[in-house]
């Protein structure tokens, strides 16, 4: 296989204006950070908020990445994604609370192990439920957007009620493990320990997803499928199987995100899935359907926006994110980095 | 006369409420290039898509060698050794040229000898090998699409309007490449509006109108009969490009 | 005469016609035939929900748009009147002002959402409406000085509508003709007018274009209809009708709060009513709303007593506890979308 350019004729570089235009989506994140700095004025507060925003963004990214791939690849609008978030949180919480000894211990290793087990349990549970959801609930309504929305919304409600059934009607507090509590203080800047974990995990998942998408045959199929599923089938690949895989992976990631979010908020409720779903939708729309990179940018923007407005004008926090979505869609109607359908 | 590799008998295809194919009977001889001609809306693309399983025939049968295609899903039809070059080329713009080709070579391993052969026909592909296919010009995308069908030996290749929207010089290059492909005795079904290309490459010809095949026979016979051309296609050879 | 009233949209099924007559008569004579506060409350709720669900059917059934912001428009209408009456208790001027402001805000918001969300991919619309509705819910809870926050607002309605008012002394047909009866008939009459108006809208050329858009948007565009304009118009009309339903509810309950107007469970209720009744029929809203409200009120009582009788069986008692109403709703809803997409009206019409 040759990767060499065997002709000497140079390919003309795209004009500067066009290259800049292609890069602009990436600049939105620093741009927002700068705007935040100007409005908040105080550098240490800004730093704290920015780190908090990045952490929040990473967590939303984890949950949104599955949804955007599912939509991009399968053209399926799954409102039930929120159910996976909630269920993941509750399953993870159950495990974490059961491992009380480990979470209370002063050993970071034990703490992380507990979190790790909780996450694994959540991912297995939501992955499994996701498989069931795709085969039973979604498959009959492939291609029918209206029915998909209705049916998956119904599924979300049923899931919420089932959580009430099994775990009771109340919120469940979820304290962080001992060594993940508290923060490091650098001068006036406060860095919560748990948030560092969130950022690290989010980054690992982002890198992992990108690697899988760009370097593996499976990732290649997914990227091609997002663009033109029909052609991938015409090349001899069974795209339907790919759907199930992506759906299950997306559900598992949602479950993972649910646990992490539960620890972030230190409380879990049956409604949390629906509440976060709203943010996830905003992120997916901003990023561009089907694009993991766009999703990542969108999530960081939403995280930063939520934290900046949370400080500056708490009452309009959610509204500000909607405003952000409006502004970005006015600029790029298909999102920041759309994965392009056809 | 060569053995028919592909046979359609009384194929009807409905898309929603539209009855597009109204009883298509088509015989594609093995080892030859069969041209599928007809004016816009005659059902040529629908025929190819139905063969490929992208649209389902409502009645009628399709046979590829000994295998019935009616009940097969598109990936399985492709795996029988049928390649498809669609009208919009179906090139994955976000993937590099190399990645497009890797996908087409199903086991992932590209046969270097075949690749060199393809490069000799389509040199532009080497220049854009590691670049996104979206950067290619229309003609280059068409070449990539055909190259994807050629990277594996196929028993049948379906090509839909390869010359559409391309400059005459590129069409000449395509004709040359197609001649090369024909030398491998691959069976090809090609939909074309460009009669010059059709005449240059076609061995057999089938003309469609209103969802049916209204004429089939040898291309040489059609090319020699201007009156027949005028009747079937509303044009005569040599005047229309 | 009846044909013009129904805008030529006949029930097309004897059973359906019979049911509709039953419902209308039942509602018209409710204070006399079903005496008691609770029954009247149920009847008034049915009237309001019929309007609300019919307005949603305009959107979902006729235009093919899924929106989760409908309860927001309902709430805007209700809060409009509530805030006005809270500021100027008992005055008709407040009612008028509140209604006009609520209508204006609802339709204005619908216009904005339509202009924006329909400019981008249509599939975003559902997501965007969910986001906007959530934001509005939070906003309503947080602007507590204006909206009463979580607790909502209570206020005095005009004298004519309040129980203190007496039309005649003594009783007529065993019922005291007080302001509550007046209130009820105001709601009943308004609901009737609004439903007939919606029948007129969906059977007009405008309504036919909406249906064409629902069936095949590309084709409608190709035929020269600017689909974005039509959809935005449909959204505004639906929002306006929903706001008026909110006004009626606010006048009846004399209370408006996030839980009675803006909550997601009401949105789910609407979805269920429209799907079970039959999408794209308007009559479906009538049947669906009636069945649903009756079932919800009386079935919950049934569930409670059933739950009491199996109080010892651990999981079962939780499953049929009236608190789990929403669970069964959700399951019923999902099953209806799969197996019962044309709803009751659709089924009846098929049989006819």
What are the φ/ψ torsions at residue B5 (nearest 5 degrees)?
-85, -35
Q: Which of C116, C130, C143 sits opposite A326 (nearest CB)?
A: C116
What Å distances lie between residue C38 and A77, C34, C255, C294, C296, CA to CA? 41, 9, 16, 11, 13
Beta strand pairing call for B156-160 and B33-37? unpaired
What mean pLDDT value characterizes chain C? 85
Helix, coil or strand: residue B86: coil
Range(s) of the domain holding residue B230: 4-90+153-234
A236–B79 C-beta distance less than 8 A: yes
CA distance A319 to chain C (A): 6
A217–B129 C-beta distance less than 8 A: no
Does the pLDDT value for residue A108 go beyond 60?
yes
Beta strand pairing call for A267-268 and B67-68? unpaired
What are the φ/ψ torsions at residue B212 (nearest 5 degrees)?
-135, 160
pLDDT score of A14: 62
Cα separation, C173 vs C169, whole angstroms: 13
Does the pLDDT value for residue B1 go beyond 60?
no
Helix, coil or strand: residue A340: coil
The pLDDT tens digits of the residues spanning C43-89 come to: 999 999 999 999 999 988 888 888 889 999 999 999 999 999 888 88
| Consecutive H or E run containing B19 | strand B18-29
Percent of chain A with pLDDT strictly greater than 90: 35
**Residues within 8 A of B (CB atoms), A 175-234 only:** 217, 220-221, 223-224, 227-228, 230-234
With cut-offs at 50, 70 and 90, classify the pLDDT of residue C137. confident
Cα separation, C248 vs A170, whole angstroms: 34
What mean pLDDT value characterizes chain B? 88
B110 in a structural domain? no
pLDDT score of C215: 79
Does the pLDDT value for residue C191 go beyond 70?
yes
The pLDDT tens digits of the residues spanning A161-219 come to: 899 888 888 888 888 888 888 888 887 778 888 888 889 999 999 999 999 988 999 99
Does the pLDDT value for residue C182 go beyond 90?
no
Q: What integer is the mean pLDDT of B64-76?
A: 91
Beta bridge partners of residue B123, listed in sequence order: none
What are the φ/ψ torsions at residue B148 (nearest 5 degrees)?
-60, -35
A23 touching B (Cβ < 8 Å): no
For residue C49, give the nearest of C348, C267, C279 by alpha carbon.
Answer: C267
For chain A, the domains span 45-331
- 8 Å CB contact between B174 and B142: yes
- Min mean pLDDT across A250-254, C241-245, C310-314 is at C310-314
A38 touching B (Cβ < 8 Å): no
Write down the architecture of domain A45-331 according to CATH: Orthogonal Bundle (1.10)
Instruction: Tell me the CATH number at B157.
Output: 3.40.50.300
With cut-offs at 50, 70 and 90, classify the pLDDT of residue A248. very high
Does the pLDDT value for residue C6 go beyond 50?
yes
Q: Which chains touch A (3 or more CB pairs under 8 A)?
A: B, C
Torsion of CA C312, C313, C318, C320, to 10 degrees: -100
B133 in a structural domain? no
- 8 Å CB contact between A181 and A193: yes
What mean pLDDT value characterizes chain A? 86
- Min mean pLDDT across A154-163, A222-231, B213-222, C159-168 is at C159-168
B184 in a structural domain? yes
- 8 Å CB contact between A298 and A286: yes
- Measured over the CA atoms of residue B160, residue B161, residue B165 and residue B169, the dihedral's sign is positive
- 8 Å CB contact between C216 and C63: no
For residue A72, give the nearest of A261, A184, A277, A229 by alpha carbon.
Answer: A229
Helix, coil or strand: residue B59: strand
Helix and strand numbers (H, E) in chain A are 12, 4
Burial class (CB in 10 A: 0-12, 13-18, 19+), B86: buried
B103–A224 C-beta distance less than 8 A: yes
Cα separation, A197 vs A183, whole angstroms: 12
Q: Which of A5, A6, A234 sits opposite B74 (nearest CB)?
A: A234
Q: Which residues contact A314 (CB under 8 A, 6 or more apart)?
A: none
Give the DSSP per-residue string, A132-165. Answer: HIIIIIIGGGTT-HHHHHHHHHHHHHHHHHHHHH
A147 touching C (Cβ < 8 Å): yes
- 8 Å CB contact between A305 and A28: no
CA A59 to chain centre: 6
- 8 Å CB contact between C45 and C246: no
Burial C49-84 (b: 16+ CB within 10 A, else e): bbbbbbbbbbbbbbbbbbbbbbbbbbbbbbbbbbbb
Higher pLDDT, C185 or C299: C185
B108: number of Cβ within 10 Å = 9
Cα separation, B64 vs B53, whole angstroms: 12
| Consecutive H or E run containing B159 | strand B156-160
B73–A233 C-beta distance less than 8 A: yes
For chain C, the domains span 28-281
A207: number of Cβ within 10 Å = 10
Query: Nearest 5 degrees, angle CA C104-CA C105-CA C111?
Result: 90
- 8 Å CB contact between A84 and A161: no
Q: Which residues contact C100 (CB under 8 A, 6 or more apart)?
A: C80
Q: Which chain A residue has its CA at the smallest distance from C118's CA?
A: A333
B123 in a structural domain? no
Q: Which of B78, B110, B127 sits opposite A235 (nearest CB)?
A: B78
C124: number of Cβ within 10 Å = 24
Higher pLDDT, C6 or B171: B171
A235 touching B (Cβ < 8 Å): yes
What are the φ/ψ torsions at residue B91 (nearest 5 degrees)?
-80, 140
Q: Which of A217, A220, A234 sits opposite B78 (nearest CB)?
A: A234
Give the DSSP per-residue string, A32-71. Answer: HHHHHHHHH--HHHHHHHHHHHHHHHHHHHHHHHHHHHHH
B74 in a structural domain? yes
In Å, the largest CA–CA distance within chain B is 50
Q: Which of C116, C139, C324 sits opposite A319 (nearest CB)?
A: C139
pLDDT score of A331: 85
- Min mean pLDDT across A140-144, C119-123, C296-300 is at C119-123
A236–B106 C-beta distance less than 8 A: yes
Beta strand pairing call for B57-64 and B156-160? unpaired
Helix, coil or strand: residue B106: coil
What Å distances lie between residue C206 and A35, B156, B240, C203, CA to CA? 46, 51, 47, 8
- 8 Å CB contact between C161 and C155: no
Query: Nearest 5 degrees, angle CA A107-CA A111-CA A116?
Result: 145
Q: What integer is the mean pLDDT of A273-283?
A: 90
Q: Which of B75, B93, B127 sits opposite A5 (nearest CB)?
A: B127
Does the pLDDT value for residue B241 go beyond 60?
no
Does the pLDDT value for residue A8 go beyond 50?
no
A2 touching B (Cβ < 8 Å): yes
Length of chain A counted residue by residue:
342
B86–A234 C-beta distance less than 8 A: yes
For residue A245, give the nearest of A107, A73, A112, A111 by alpha carbon.
Answer: A73
- 8 Å CB contact between C83 and C109: no
Does the pLDDT value for residue A9 go beyond 50?
no
Does the pLDDT value for residue C164 go beyond 60?
yes
Cα separation, A207 vs A228, whole angstroms: 24
> What pTM was estimated for this model as a whole?
0.83
Three-class DSSP labels, chain C: CHHHHCCCCCCCCHHHHHHHHHHHHHHHCHHHHCCCHHHHHHHHHHHHHHHHHHHHHHHHHHCCCCCCCHHHHHHHHHHHHHHHHHHCCCCHHHHHHHHHHHHHHHHHHHHHHHHHHCCCCCCHHHHHHHHHHHHHHHHHHHCHHHHCHHHCEECCCCHHHCCCCEEEEEEECCEEEEHHHHHHHHHHHHHHHHHHHHHHHHCCHHHHHHHHHHHCHHHHHHCCCCHHHHHHHHHHHHHHHHHHHHHHHHHHHCEECHHHHCCHHHHHHHHHHHHHHCCCCCHHHHHHHHHHHHHHHHHHHHHHHHHHHCCCCHHHHHHCCHHHHHHHHHHHHHHHHHHCCCHHHHHHHHHC
Compute the 3-state secondary structure of chain A and give helix, strand, coil in percent, each to the nearest 5.
75, 5, 20
CA distance C316 to chain A (A): 10
Beta bridge partners of residue C175, listed in sequence order: C172
Structure tokens given for A215: 């370097």
pLDDT score of A7: 38
Cα separation, C345 vs C279, whole angstroms: 9
What are the φ/ψ torsions at residue B83 (nearest 5 degrees)?
-100, 150
For residue B47, give the nearest of B88, B86, B91, B90 by alpha carbon.
Answer: B86
């Amino acid at each position: 296989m040759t990767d060499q350019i065997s002709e000497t004729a140079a390919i003309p570089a795209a004009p500067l204006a066009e290259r800049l235009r292609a890069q602009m989506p990436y600049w939105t994140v620093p741009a927002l950070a700068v705007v935040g700095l100007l409005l908040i004025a105080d550098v240490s507060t800004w730093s704290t908020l920015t780190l908090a925003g990045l952490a929040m963004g990473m967590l939303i990214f984890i949950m949104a990445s599955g949804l955007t791939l599912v939509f991009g690849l399968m053209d399926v609008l799954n409102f039930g994604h929120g159910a996976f978030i909630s269920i993941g949180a509750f399953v993870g919480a159950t495990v974490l609370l059961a491992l009380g000894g480990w979470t209370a211990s002063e050993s970071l290793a034990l703490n992380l192990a507990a979190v790790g087990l909780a996450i694994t349990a959540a991912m297995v549970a939501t992955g499994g439920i996701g498989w069931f959801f795709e085969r039973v609930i979604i498959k009959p309504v492939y291609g029918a957007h209206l029915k998909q929305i209705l049916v998956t919304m119904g599924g979300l409600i049923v899931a919420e009620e089932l959580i009430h059934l099994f775990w009771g009607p109340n919120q469940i507090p979820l304290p962080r493990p001992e060594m993940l509590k508290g923060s490091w203080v650098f001068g006036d800047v406060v860095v919560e320990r748990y948030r560092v974990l969130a950022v690290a995990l989010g980054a690992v998942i982002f890198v992992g997803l990108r690697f899988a998408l760009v370097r593996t045959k499976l990732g290649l199929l997914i990227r091609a499928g997002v663009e033109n599923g029909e052609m991938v089938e015409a090349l001899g690949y069974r795209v339907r199987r790919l759907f199930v895989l992506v759906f299950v992976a997306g559900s598992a990631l949602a479950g993972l995100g649910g646990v992490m979010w539960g620890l972030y908020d230190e409380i879990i409720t049956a409604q949390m899935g629906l509440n976060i779903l709203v943010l996830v939708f905003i992120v997916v729309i901003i990023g561009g359907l089907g694009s993991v990179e766009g999703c990542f940018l969108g999530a960081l923007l939403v995280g930063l926006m939520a934290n900046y407005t949370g400080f500056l004008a708490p009452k309009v926090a959610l509204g500000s994110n909607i405003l952000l979505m409006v502004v970005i869609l006015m600029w790029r109607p298909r999102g920041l980095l759309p994965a392009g359908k056809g | 006369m060569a053995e028919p590799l592909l046979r359609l008998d009384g194929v009807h295809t409905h898309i929603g409420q539209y009855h597009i194919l109204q009883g298509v009977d088509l015989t594609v001889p093995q080892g030859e290039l069969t041209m599928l001609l007809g004016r816009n809306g005659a059902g040529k693309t629908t025929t190819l898509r139905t063969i490929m399983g992208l649209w389902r025939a409502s009645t009628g049968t399709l046979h590829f060698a000994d295998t019935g295609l009616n009940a097969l899903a598109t990936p399985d039809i492709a795996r029988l050794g049928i390649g498809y070059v669609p009208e919009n080329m179906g090139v994955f713009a976000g993937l590099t040229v190399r990645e497009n080709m890797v996908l087409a070579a199903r086991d992932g391993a590209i046969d270097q000898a075949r690749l060199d052969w393809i490069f000799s026909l389509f040199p532009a592909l080497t220049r854009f090998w590691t670049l996104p296919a979206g950067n290619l010009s229309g003609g280059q995308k068409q070449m990539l699409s055909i190259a994807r069908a050629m990277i594996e030996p196929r028993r049948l290749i379906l090509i839909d309007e390869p010359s559409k929207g391309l400059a005459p010089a590129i069409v000449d290059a395509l004709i040359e490449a197609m001649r090369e492909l024909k030398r491998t005795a691959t069976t090809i079904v090609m939909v074309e509006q460009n009669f010059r290309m059709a005449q240059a490459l076609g061995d057999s010809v089938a003309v469609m109108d209103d969802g049916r095949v209204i004429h089939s026979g040898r291309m040489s016979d059609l090319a020699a009969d201007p009156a027949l051309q005028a009747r079937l296609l509303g044009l005569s050879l040599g005047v229309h490009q | 005469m009846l044909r013009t009233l129904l805008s030529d949209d006949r029930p097309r099924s004897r059973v359906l016609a019979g049911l509709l007559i039953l419902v209308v008569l039942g509602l018209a004579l409710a204070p006399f035939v079903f005496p008691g506060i609770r029954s009247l409350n149920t009847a008034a709720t049915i009237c309001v929900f019929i309007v609300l669900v019919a307005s949603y059917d305009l959107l979902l059934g006729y235009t093919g748009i899924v929106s989760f912001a409908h309860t927001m428009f309902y709430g805007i209408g209700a809060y409009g009147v509530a805030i006005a009456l809270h500021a100027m208790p008992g005055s008709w001027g407040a009612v008028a002002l509140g209604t006009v402001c609520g209508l204006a805000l609802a339709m204005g918001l619908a216009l904005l959402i339509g202009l924006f969300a329909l400019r981008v991919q249509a599939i975003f619309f559902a997501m965007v409406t969910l986001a906007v509705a959530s934001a509005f819910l939070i906003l309503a809870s947080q602007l507590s000085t204006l909206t009463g926050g979580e607790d909502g607002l209570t206020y005095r309605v005009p004298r004519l509508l309040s129980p203190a008012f007496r039309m005649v002394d003594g009783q007529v047909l065993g019922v005291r003709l007080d302001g509550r009866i007046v209130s009820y008939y105001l709601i009943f009459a308004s609901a009737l007018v609004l439903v007939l108006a919606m029948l007129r809208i969906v059977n007009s050329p405008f309504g036919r274009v909406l249906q064409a858009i629902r069936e095949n948007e590309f084709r409608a565009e190709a035929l020269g209809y600017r689909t974005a304009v039509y959809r935005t118009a449909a959204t505004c009309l639906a929002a306006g009708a929903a706001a008026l339903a909110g006004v009626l509810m606010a006048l009846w309950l004399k209370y408006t709060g996030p839980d009675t107007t803006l909550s997601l469970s009401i949105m789910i209720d609407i979805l269920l009513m429209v799907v079970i009744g039959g999408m794209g029929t308007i009559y479906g809203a009538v049947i669906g709303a009636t069945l649903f409200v009756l079932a919800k009120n009386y079935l919950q009582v049934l569930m409670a007593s059933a739950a009491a009788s199996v109080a010892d069986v651990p999981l079962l008692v939780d499953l049929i506890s009236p608190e789990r109403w929403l669970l069964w709703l959700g399951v019923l809803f999902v099953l209806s979308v799969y197996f019962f997409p044309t709803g009751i009206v659709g089924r009846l019409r098929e049989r006819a």
